[in-house]
Amino acid sequence: MRFLRVDMTHQQIAVEPVPKRYQGLGGRGLISTLINDEVPPLCDPMGPENKLIFAPGLLGGTKLVNTSRIAVGAKSPLTGTIKESNAGGTFGDAAGRLGITAIIVEGQSRNNGLSTLKIDVDGIAQLIDSEDLKGMRTYALVEHLFSRYGTQNAVMCIGPAGEQKLRAASIQSTDTKGRPCRAAGRGGLGAVMGSKGLKAIVLDLRGDEADAIVDPEGFAAAAKAFAQSVRSHPFSRDVMPKLGTAGLVAPVNSMGGFPSYNATRGVFDGWEKISGEYMSDLLAKRGGKTGHKGCATCIIQCSNEFVDAGGKYVTSSLEYETIWSMGGMTGIDDLDIIARLDFLCDDLGVDTMSTGVGVSVAMDAGYKPFGDGQAAIEMVEEIAKGTSFGKMLGNGPEEVGRFFNHHRVPVVKGQSISGYDPRAMQGNAVTYATSPMGADHTAGNLVSEYVTGKLDPLKTEGQVDASRKSQIAMAVVDSIGLCVLASTVLSTEQGSKAFIAAINAKLGLELKPEAITEMGIKVIKAELDFNRRAGFTNKDDRLPRFFYEEPLPPHNVVVQISDEEMDKTFKF
């Protein structure tokens, strides 16, 4: 249980025991508390005062399934708010098994120097000069790092976009096959890593110094019950292994909530050609794979390996949000083009969602026609070339909209929405507007409430309460390190009980469900406090005007949640 403080200015590393204030915290909860305590809210996100923090979840490195997420956070250069973004792969589990509670990257390298942080099997960390890695794309970079340090490592790294400090830059994370195809994509955290002068973190996968569990027997029983819940839920049992998150394309289009052609329509003409079902059939014919295990400790196996017509690897994993942003939003109904765009974004180290939405804003403004896949590829390649257009696109959709003087830019606090239109899903409008981190589905997505008929997506009643509840729950999930796709079982009695029992066994506590809710509220309060001191007010918790003024077909509705209702979301 320790912090690694990495001082990039003086190229020094300090190891310290976790102060009492932060014990019992992990992932997003730890990051948000630390940032609120230590980062000046008005600082330049890409200056030396900002801190970039990597933290496994509270149960990262344990035997609880699907808890290998690695949370990354800082003051975001994209939103200006506090930001946590988490990634799958193997890094979070390995960090937990090394007993690392957080890696806190501080200061800024001098003279634009570039380093790699190497952490060995004993947890000994060192900074290594990496000038020779400048400009490398992530796939080549990881291959290089593995040849130098061995394949028994997990890597988190940036590509050219992060080095250029572009505000939609991601931090890429290696999967179980050592490919940098998992991403902490949101909030431009790759730009913060680039501004620190940190190209990569290489972490040994073989660590065996995980923090003690207070009640190991109780934990084992809870972990077993939780795994049973995951295995028996129709979403994680049937849909995810077969289709992955792409399985959402059919339901969301069927509900008229799939933002298409830059959020001017709620059903995409060619959605069946980019659906999870279509992709699953295509990959079966080509020798690709669905049901792939991308992350350590995962029993859902929602990942896929997309291959071309010749059976050659293109990308992994082609996910719903990328299919939406690079497909529905741009009008491209060709999975091969979308997969190529996904690979490019991973390789350059840029968020697929912000980038796809940026491309769609440019198309909507008349720069290129919707559906022009080749044009989309050329636009994204501009990011690697470092051209003016590439920098503009890599800085996110708001920058693209400003350049083209285009009004229809689907962002909140500078960050693009996700693949659920806030007009067809009014509760997601609340989440996009009020999340302390800008628009994002992972903050509190209500699609499952709508699909199961618990809530009418087109009515205003109940949306604020549902969003609040979901946002609080997600703050807990992201603090524990649990995958959002496994968190669906928290809606079941067995899953919820087992989850709480696991937390209690780990910490030696007897927390009731209300205390778990309180844990989530505390995290959000820290985030809101930081944002308030950074200058944000409730006036920033609004969607762009077009969502209130331009009806979305086929339901022909606008966002109807009033400002007063929005402001009730976090009146704790």
Partner 1 sequence: MIIKVKLFSILRNHVSGYDPEKGIDIELASHARVSDVIHHLKIPAVQFPVVSCDGRILQKSDPLSDGNVLHIFQPVAGG
Strand partners, 86: 71
Residue in 458, 450, 414 with CA at minimum distance from that of residue 432:
414
Per-residue interface string for the shown chain with partner 1, residues 191-230, x marking contact by CB under 8 A: ----------------------------------------
Q: State the nearest-atom distance from the C-beta of 320 to partner 1, in Å.
A: 5
Q: State the nearest-atom distance from the C-beta of 246 to partner 1, in Å.
A: 9
Half-sphere exposure of 244 (CA within 13 A, CB side): 29
| Among residues 22, 370, 450, 530, the one that binds partner 1 under rule CB under 8 A | 450
Size of the site for partner 1 (CB under 8 A): 44
| Among residues 93, 211, 321, 398, the one that binds partner 1 under rule CB under 8 A | 321
Q: Which H helix or E strand runs over 411?
A: strand 411-412
Q: State the nearest-atom distance from the C-beta of 250 to partner 1, in Å.
A: 4
Which residues from 402-441 bind partner 1, rule CB under 8 A? Answer: 420, 424, 441
Cα distances (Å, whole numbers) of residue 485 to 97, 236, 468, 499: 22, 7, 19, 14
238 belongs to the binding site for partner 1 (CB under 8 A): yes
235 belongs to the binding site for partner 1 (CB under 8 A): yes
Segment lying near partner 1 (by CB under 8 A), choices 368-376, 399-407, 442-450, 505-513: 442-450
Number of C-beta neighbours around residue 20 at 10 A: 7
Q: Which is nearer to partner 1, 261 or 389 (CB)?
A: 261
276 belongs to the binding site for partner 1 (CB under 8 A): yes
Q: Is 421 helix (H, G, I), strand (E, B) or coil?
A: coil
Q: State the nearest-atom distance from the C-beta of 239 to partner 1, in Å.
A: 5
Which residues from 325-364 bind partner 1, rule CB under 8 A? Answer: none
Residue in 109, 164, 116 with CA at minimum distance from that of residue 142:
116
288/317 Cα distance (integer angstroms): 11
Q: Is 127 helix (H, G, I), strand (E, B) or coil?
A: strand
482/476 Cα distance (integer angstroms): 9
68 belongs to the binding site for partner 1 (CB under 8 A): no
Instruction: Using alpha carbons only, give the angle 455, 461, 462 rounded to the nearest 5 degrees.
Output: 60
Which residues from 241-260 bind partner 1, rule CB under 8 A? Answer: 242-245, 247-248, 250-251, 254-256
Q: Is 374 helix (H, G, I), strand (E, B) or coil?
A: helix
Segment lying near partner 1 (by CB under 8 A), choices 124-132, 221-229, 277-285, 498-506: 277-285
Structure tokens that stand for 184 in this block: 């902490």
| Among residues 219, 320, 403, 499, the one that binds partner 1 under rule CB under 8 A | 320
Half-sphere exposure of 390 (CA within 13 A, CB side): 21
Residue in 41, 38, 59, 54 with CA at minimum distance from that of residue 519:
59
401 belongs to the binding site for partner 1 (CB under 8 A): no
Q: Which residues bind partner 1 (CB under 8 A)?
A: 234-235, 238-239, 242-245, 247-248, 250-251, 254-256, 266-267, 272, 275-278, 281, 302, 319-321, 420, 424, 441-442, 445, 447-448, 450-453, 484-485, 487-488, 554-555
